[in-house]
Amino acid sequence: MALKDGRYEVVADVYQGEKLPLIVEVVNGKINHIRSKDKLGDTNLNKSVIDILSHEISRTQSLGIDAVSGASHSSRGIIDAVKEAVKAAGGEISENEIQTNGAKKYDATERTNVEDYSNWREVPKKIAKEIQTDLVIVGSGISGLAAAVEAGELGLKTLVVEKNSFIAGNGGGVEGIFGINTKMQKAAGITSEPEKIIAKEMELAQYRVDGSFWVDLVNNSSENIDWLVKNGVQLTKVDDYSGICQFPTFHWFKDGVASSGYVPYMKKKADEYGVKFLLDTPAYSVISDNGVVKGIYAKSRNGMLKINAKATIFATGGVGHNAKLIAKQGWKTDNLKFLSMPSNTGDGYQMAMSVKAQDMLDESPEFMDNYIQALPTNRLTKMAPETMIAGGGPVIWVNQDGRRIANENISSYNMLYQHMPIKATKATYVIFNKKIWDKCAEIALFKNPDPDEILENAVKSNRGNSLFKADNIADLAKDVDIPEETLIETVKKYNEYCQNGLDKEFNKEKMNLVPIDEGPYYIGRLDNSNLVGLGGIGENNKFEVIDDNFDAIKGLYAVGADSTMQYRNVYTITLGGSACAHSVNSGRHAVMNARDYINKQ
């Protein structure tokens, strides 16, 4: 039956409960195109899934297609929404569920054993195909693509294996890249002093890092950006990341997202150089012979591949979606909300550990924010009132004993500081009143949906037993089972600090000392949402993976979010885009050094 032509608006339920408005276009009685109604600047995952499914559905005129690897939940939500559009267009639905052929999707987290990583060195019993190459790159995010293009330029026979059905990984949602004294800055009249930036980063890291990593990153940043532009990457402006950075060194990608300004151009350039990509092909284990890495085994749809390589680069995006590895860092994971790509399961880290790489996971930062389970979390914006409440400011943070734990405005210095105090407590709660909530909604210019309705519905549903309302502080204490007298005294002293304009405990800024002295009062439990894990694998300045004696493991390199030796515990987002700059710098220079290593063999 032909469908009625038109544009049909539907809403898909995708990953983490997000509502995704879609437009399904029907032309000449057939589904012609599927796109998001809104501009997807905050998540490349959904954008990629829509693009892939739109192509397959329009090509086959069937909804009986495979879910996109690494995004099965979003795939099902989008296909279900398209079904509704088909019905609205007069079509009939039958036998149109996602085809899985009864096969269980590969889940790398099931192989995680934090006591023993030897299974990531496993030799498969059956090999479907053997491949020979100069270089194998595991992962195709920011760093993997940078490595691929550099390898193409240098004439290396290169193979990129990617576990997802699409290119980009977590990197697709990156907004921009750090650079100093670039052509764009000079054109804008911006001058920066590298030594001051390096000194500030060393200070923020408490001088616990090898500063040579920062020197290399900062001094290479301008040349790296010139190289990106030469290869087609689109940058639009440079500023201080909308006020978040301490220096005006943030170069924005076209449309404010790498999936528009970086990924398609780098993929095109890699293709032009003859770099080969294998999608839906997760790395399974590393090939090691007498301490020398000689490639990987990978799972393809047609069976296990043995990829023999003269050099191997791990660019797998970190550990941000693996609860076992995050728990190993000391974080509480019972209520952890994952915002990272489901594919970022620490595969590179675990393969590196299996060959006795230096373990930097305990020292590595997680890109986390606070959230309250009962409040909506489908709008991932720093300016939603519920995000502002959880992130700190004119509120009170208390521990399980009812005592304050920090200056609640620390996120103004580094928006990622907010999650650090939580690691040191059994439980952390935020106390606020209706006046503070209203002020946050006013700052955010938030009117739709109604912020009052949001708050009241959250209290009523109380998802996760995480948000309570009361007319007095004592009842708040009872709701979360913390000492009443202590909490009452904490709020009383805090209000006195507010009235006197001086926080005698944590020296909180006067402008954020707002008394919480009239109800209704609210208390919410703060939990963490994790976007990405940065680091884990020890490496030297050549991005060679090293062992505990700082000796290089021959043939193995780590780049991007797998490496990040310049950070300790907290990502210093005050230098916005530095992780992206590191991804490009490490991807490029790992290949340069791998080329030298290969030539000596």
| Nearest by Cα to 297 from 62, 512, 511, 130 | 130
Distance, in Å, from the CA atom of 342 to the CA atom of 373, rounded to the nearest integer, reads 20
- pLDDT-based confidence at residue 512 (cuts at 50, 70, 90): very high
* Comparison of pLDDT for 89 and 266, the residue scoring more: 266
Summarize the confidence of residues 314-343 as an average pLDDT.
90
Mean pLDDT score, 528-541: 91
Residue 203 has φ and ψ, to the nearest 5°, of -65, -45
Find the range with the poorest average confidence among 357-371, 372-386, 541-555.
372-386
pLDDT above 70 covers a percentage of the chain that reads 92
Residue 448 binned pLDDT confidence (cut-offs 50, 70, 90)? low
Confidence of residue 136 (pLDDT cuts 50, 70, 90): very high
3-state secondary structure 372-389: CCCCCCCCCCCCCHHHHH
Give the pLDDT of residue 118.
Answer: 96
Confidence tier at 376 by pLDDT (50, 70, 90): confident
18 or 348: which leads in pLDDT: 348
Q: Is the pLDDT of residue 93 over 90?
A: no
In this predicted model, what pLDDT tens digit does every residue of 379-409 receive, in sequence order?
A: 444 556 778 889 899 999 999 999 999 999 9
pLDDT tens by residue, 137-181: 999 999 999 999 999 999 999 999 999 888 888 787 789 999 999
The alpha carbon of 529 is separated from its chain's Cα centroid by a whole number of angstroms, namely: 10
Beta-carbon contacts of residue 368 (< 8 Å; ≥ 6 apart)? 331, 416, 419, 528, 529, 530, 531
Band (62; pLDDT cuts 50, 70, 90): confident
Residue 42's pLDDT band (boundaries 50, 70, 90)?
very low
Question: What are the start-end ranges of the E strands in 276-343?
Answer: 276-278, 283-289, 292-300, 303-314, 337-338
Output the CA torsion 424→425→426→428 (10° steps): -140
Mean pLDDT of all residues in the chain? 89
pLDDT at 100: 33
Model pLDDT for residues 238-255, shown as the tens digit of each residue: 998 877 777 889 999 998
Query: Which pLDDT belongs to residue 96?
Result: 38
Residue 225 DSSP SS3: helix
Q: pLDDT band for position 101 (50/70/90)?
A: very low
- pLDDT score at 170: 78
Does residue 446 register a pLDDT over 70?
no
Domains and CATH numbers, the chain: 6-88 (3.90.1010.20), 120-310+344-365+532-600 (3.50.50.60), 373-525 (3.90.700.10)
> Which is more confidently placed, 173 or 328?
328
Six-digit token string for 316: 């797998």
pLDDT surpasses 70 at 66: no
- On the question of pLDDT at 438 being above 60, the answer is yes
Residue 40 scores a pLDDT above 70:
no
* Whether residue 496 has pLDDT greater than 70: yes
Q: For 362-388, what is the mean pLDDT?
A: 77
Distance of CA 185 to the CA centre of its chain: 27
Higher pLDDT, 480 or 447: 480
Q: How far apart are CA 195 and CA 198, in angstroms?
A: 5
Which tens digits make up the pLDDT trace of 179-217?
Answer: 999 999 999 888 888 898 899 888 888 899 999 999 999
pLDDT band at 412 (very low <50, low <70, confident <90, very high): confident
pLDDT of residue 97: 38
pLDDT score, position 171: 82
Question: Mean of the pLDDT values across residues 433-449?
Answer: 79
Q: Which range has the worst mean pLDDT, 90-94, 318-322, 369-373, 486-490?
A: 90-94
How many Å apart are CA 33 and CA 75, to the nearest integer?
16
